[in-house]
Structure 1
Amino acid sequence: MRPTILDTLFSPVSALPGVGPKIAELLVKLLGRETPDETRVVDLLFHAPSSLVDRRHQPGIASAPQGAIVTLTGRVDRHQPSPKGKTNIPYRVFLHDETGELALVFFRGQAAWLDKQLPVDEEVMVSGKIEWFNGRASMVHPDYIVKVSDAGNLPLVEPVYPLTAGLSPKTLRKIIEAALPRIPEFPEWADKELVARQGFPSAAEGFRQLHEPRDPADVDSQAPARRRLAYDEFLAGQLSLSLVRQRLRKVAGTPVKATGIISRAILNQLPFSPTASQTAAVADILKDMAGQDRMLRLLQGDVGSGKTLVALLSMAAVIESGGQAVLMAPTEILARQHHATISKYAGSLGIGIDVLTGRTKGRERDDVLERIALGEAQIIIGTHALFQESVSYKNLMLAVVDEQHRFGVHQRLRLTAKGISPHMLVMTATPIPRTLVLAAFGDMDVSKLTEKPAGRKPIQTITIPTERIGEIVQRLKSALAEGRKAYWICPLVEESEELDITSAEERYATLTSALGPGIGLIHGRMSGAEKDAVMMAFKNGEIRLLVATTVVEVGVDVPDATIMVIEHAERFGLAQLHQLRGRVGRGDEASTCILLYKGPLGETGHARLSIMRETEDGFRIAEEDLKLRGEGEVLGTRQSGTPGFRIASIEAHADLLEIARRDAAYLIDRDPELTSERGNAVRTLLYLFRRDEAIRFLHAG
Structure 2
Amino acid sequence: MLGWRDERELAAVLPAKEAAAITKAFGYTRCWQLLEHYPRTYVRHGSAAHLIDARDGDVVTLYGTVVKQSTRPTRKRTKSGRPLMLTEVFIRDELTRIKATYFGSWYAEKQLTEGARAIFSGKIRHYQGQMQLSQPDFYLVASADGQPREGDLATGSLKKLAAYGELDTVLGNRAMLPVYPATAQVTSWQLMGAIDLVLETLPPIPEPLPAPPAGLPDFDSALRDVHDPKDQDAVDRGLARLKYNEALALALVMAVRRQDTEAQNAPPLPRVEGRQQDQLLRALPFPLTRGQQEVLSEISADISRAHPMSRLLQGEVGSGKTIVALLAMLQAVDNGRQCAMLAPTEVLTVQHARSLTRTLAAAGSTATVVALTGSMPTAVKREALLNIVSGQADIVVGTHALIQDAVEFFDLGLVVVDEQHRFGVEQRDRLRGQGRDGATPHTLVMTATPIPRTIAMTVFGDLAVSTLKELPGGRKPIQSAVVPEANPRWVERAWERIREEVAAGRQAYVVCPRIDDDGGVITVAAWLRATEFKDLHVSVLHGRMKGAEKDEVMADFAAGGIDVLVATTVIEVGVDVPNATVMMIRESENFGVSQLHQLRGRVGRGGHASLCLFHTTAEPGSPAAVRVQAVAETSDGFALADLDLSNRQEGDVLGTSQSGTHRTVKLLNLLTDLPVIEQANADAENLARRDRGLAERLTADIGEDDREFLDKT
Give the TM-score band, short-chain normalised.
0.5 to 0.7
Superposed counterparts of 1:71-90, under 5 Å: 78=76
- Counterpart of 1:486 in structure 2 is 508
Are 1:653 and 2:643 matched, yes or no?
no
Deviations 1:468-527 (A, max 9, x none): 354333442463376343334567xxxxx99x9866569838964652576566678x57
Deviations 1:348-373 (A, max 9, x none): 95544333456569676565444433
Deviations 1:657-699 (A, max 9, x none): 1232122222222223x2xxx345224135557437999xxxx
1:321 to 322, 329, 335: 335
Give 5+ residue unaligned stretches, structure 1. 10-16, 19-26, 28-41, 65-71, 82-92, 101-117, 162-168, 492-496, 696-701
2:604 to 585, 599, 602: 585
1:611–1:57 distance in 2 versus 1, CA, 3 Å = same
Contact 2:525 2:539 in 1 (8 A): no
2:353 to 314, 324, 339: 339
Counterpart amino acid of residue 689 in structure 2: D
The number of equivalent residue pairs is 598
Distance in 2 separating the partners of 1:120 and 1:171: 22
1:465–1:243 distance in 2 versus 1, CA, 3 Å = same
Deviations 1:529-549 (A, max 9, x none): 59946963655644614254x
Contact 2:593 2:627 in 1 (8 A): no
Distance in 1 separating the partners of 2:433 and 2:39: 36
1:402 to 415, 418, 422: 418
2:580 to 551, 558, 561: 561
Deviation of the 1:397 alpha carbon: 0.7
1:126–1:412 distance in 2 versus 1, CA, 3 Å = same
Distance in 2 separating the partners of 1:642 and 1:237: 11
- Counterpart of 2:47 in structure 1 is none
Distance in 2 separating the partners of 1:557 and 1:327: 17
Are 1:462 and 2:481 matched, yes or no?
yes
Where 2:673 maps in the other structure, the secondary structure is helix
Contact 1:200 1:227 in 2 (8 A): no
Deviation of the 1:79 alpha carbon: 7.0
Distance in 2 separating the partners of 1:408 and 1:453: 30
Distance in 2 separating the partners of 1:521 and 1:275: 36
Where 1:235 maps in the other structure, the secondary structure is helix
1:374 to 387, 390, 403: 390
Which structure shows the bigger proportion of residues in helix conformation? 1
Contact 2:650 2:669 in 1 (8 A): no
Counterpart amino acid of residue 281 in structure 1: V
Are 1:684 and 2:700 matched, yes or no?
yes
Deviation of the 1:585 alpha carbon: 0.5
Deviation of the 1:74 alpha carbon: 11
Distance in 2 separating the partners of 1:364 and 1:44: 58
Deviation of the 1:4 alpha carbon: 14
Deviations 1:108-161 (A, max 9, x none): xxxxxxxxxx999999999655454699x9999x999xxx98656999998669
- Counterpart of 1:452 in structure 2 is 471
Are 1:54 and 2:59 matched, yes or no?
yes
- Counterpart of 2:260 in structure 1 is 247
Are 1:666 and 2:697 matched, yes or no?
no
Deviation of the 1:255 alpha carbon: 2.0
Distance in 2 separating the partners of 1:416 and 1:230: 34
- Range 318-327 or range 512-521, more displaced: 512-521
1:438 to 457, 461, 469: 457
Deviations 1:565-584 (A, max 9, x none): 34666787765443332111
Contact 1:632 1:643 in 2 (8 A): no
Superposed counterparts of 1:240-319, under 5 Å: 240-257=253-270, 258=272, 260-263=274-277, 266=280, 271-319=285-333
Contact 1:560 1:587 in 2 (8 A): yes
Contact 2:316 2:448 in 1 (8 A): yes
- Counterpart of 1:698 in structure 2 is none
Distance in 2 separating the partners of 1:4 and 1:688: 16
- Counterpart of 2:441 in structure 1 is 422
Distance in 1 separating the partners of 2:223 and 2:216: 15
Counterpart amino acid of residue 670 in structure 2: I
Counterpart amino acid of residue 266 in structure 2: G
CA RMSD of superposed structures (Å):
6.2
1:50–1:151 distance in 2 versus 1, CA, 3 Å = closer
- Range 645-654 or range 188-197, more displaced: 188-197
Where 1:342 maps in the other structure, the secondary structure is helix
Contact 2:4 2:701 in 1 (8 A): no
Counterpart amino acid of residue 97 in structure 1: T
Where 1:393 maps in the other structure, the secondary structure is coil
Where 2:566 maps in the other structure, the secondary structure is strand
Contact 2:87 2:104 in 1 (8 A): no
1:683–1:236 distance in 2 versus 1, CA, 3 Å = closer
Counterpart amino acid of residue 253 in structure 2: S
Structure number with bigger Rg = 2
Distance in 1 separating the partners of 2:432 and 2:204: 30
1:143–1:543 distance in 2 versus 1, CA, 3 Å = farther
Contact 1:671 1:679 in 2 (8 A): yes
Where 2:446 maps in the other structure, the secondary structure is strand
1:502–1:665 distance in 2 versus 1, CA, 3 Å = farther
1:99–1:43 distance in 2 versus 1, CA, 3 Å = closer
Contact 1:300 1:428 in 2 (8 A): yes
Deviation of the 1:464 alpha carbon: 5.2
Give 5+ residue unaligned stretches, structure 2. 10-19, 22-26, 42-53, 91-101, 109-119, 138-153, 162-176, 657-663
Distance in 2 separating the partners of 1:294 and 1:374: 24
Are 1:198 and 2:212 matched, yes or no?
no
1:44–1:565 distance in 2 versus 1, CA, 3 Å = farther
Distance in 2 separating the partners of 1:203 and 1:360: 62
Deviation of the 1:267 alpha carbon: 5.3
- Counterpart of 1:36 in structure 2 is none
Superposed counterparts of 1:615-634, under 5 Å: 616=635, 618=636, 621-622=637-638, 624-625=639-640, 629=643, 631=645
Distance in 2 separating the partners of 1:138 and 1:362: 68
Distance in 2 separating the partners of 1:531 and 1:62: 74
Distance in 2 separating the partners of 1:293 and 1:665: 18
Are 1:544 and 2:564 matched, yes or no?
yes
Distance in 2 separating the partners of 1:295 and 1:522: 37
1:340–1:79 distance in 2 versus 1, CA, 3 Å = farther
Deviation of the 1:224 alpha carbon: 7.0
Where 2:318 maps in the other structure, the secondary structure is coil
Deviation of the 1:308 alpha carbon: 0.9
Distance in 1 separating the partners of 2:612 and 2:261: 44
Contact 1:399 1:425 in 2 (8 A): yes
Deviations 1:398-434 (A, max 9, x none): 1112235669556555655675511222323244455
- Counterpart of 1:231 in structure 2 is 244
Counterpart amino acid of residue 532 in structure 2: L
Deviation of the 1:562 alpha carbon: 1.2
Distance in 2 separating the partners of 1:688 and 1:204: 26
Contact 1:630 1:650 in 2 (8 A): no
Distance in 2 separating the partners of 1:347 and 1:340: 10
- Counterpart of 2:369 in structure 1 is 353
1:563–1:190 distance in 2 versus 1, CA, 3 Å = farther
- Counterpart of 2:114 in structure 1 is none
